[in-house]
Amino acid sequence: MLVAVLIDGGYLRAEARKYRYNPDFIEKFTRSILAEDEQLFRAFYYDCDPFVGELELPVSGKKRKYEARGWLDILATKELFAVRRGVLKFRGFKPKRVPVASSTLSDDEFRPDFEQKGVDMRIGLDIATFSSSGAVDRVILVTGDTDCVPAMKHARIAGLQMVIVQLPTKSLSRELLWHTDYCRQVEWPKDAELFQPSS
């Protein structure tokens, strides 16, 4: 059975935070969720490039420079992988904890707030394309976002099988489970490298 794997990168990254999250981890994870009777047509990974630029810190007013790591480019070169890029928008700074613990504020008590734009739309468009093209028999979807439900319903009406992936660390909403053919519970890859904080 020919399958396409569609991965919401922001969702997977948030749930796999104890692992060293990089192109090798994403590739291992993708291969590990396939069933024995499934052949990978292509894996589609949806995410945004890291923010690049200078931001003025909220308390000191000093400038902090953000530079890209470029690992999405590396992922895009892997066999049978395609990267779909959304846009990352800076929405200001938010306190790391509420209420703010200190009476004297510092930059360290705030984090930049970034919002992904266009990722859900790209997932929906690719599901719709597979629904009409007949290129695959089944779509395996890795997401927790109910914005994908209309595209999932469209795919099933068109005769495409939908599989939603249940990660070990996350429960899925009822809306996602209602509009899928199979819910596949998976484990993290056994040979995945744990994240080791720098000393």
Where do the domains of the chain lie? 2-88+115-185
The CATH superfamily of 2-88+115-185 is 5'-nuclease (3.40.50.1010)
Nearest of 157, 92, 104, 89 to residue 127 by alpha carbon: 157
Quote the CA–CA distance of 126 and 151 in Å, as a whole number: 9
- For the CA atoms of 192, 8, 4, 163, the dihedral, rounded to the nearest 10 degrees, stands at 90
Q: What is the pLDDT of residue 115?
A: 67
Per-run averaged pLDDT (10 residues), the chain, 199 residues: 96 92 95 96 90 73 75 94 81 75 73 71 94 95 94 96 93 95 95 70
Question: What local confidence, expressed as pLDDT, does residue 136 receive?
Answer: 96
Q: What is the pLDDT of residue 118?
A: 64
Count of C-beta atoms within a 10 Å radius of residue 13:
15
The pLDDT, as a whole number, for residue 199 is: 40
Whether this model's pTM surpasses 0.95: no
Q: Give the per-residue pLDDT at 54.
A: 74
pLDDT at 48: 82
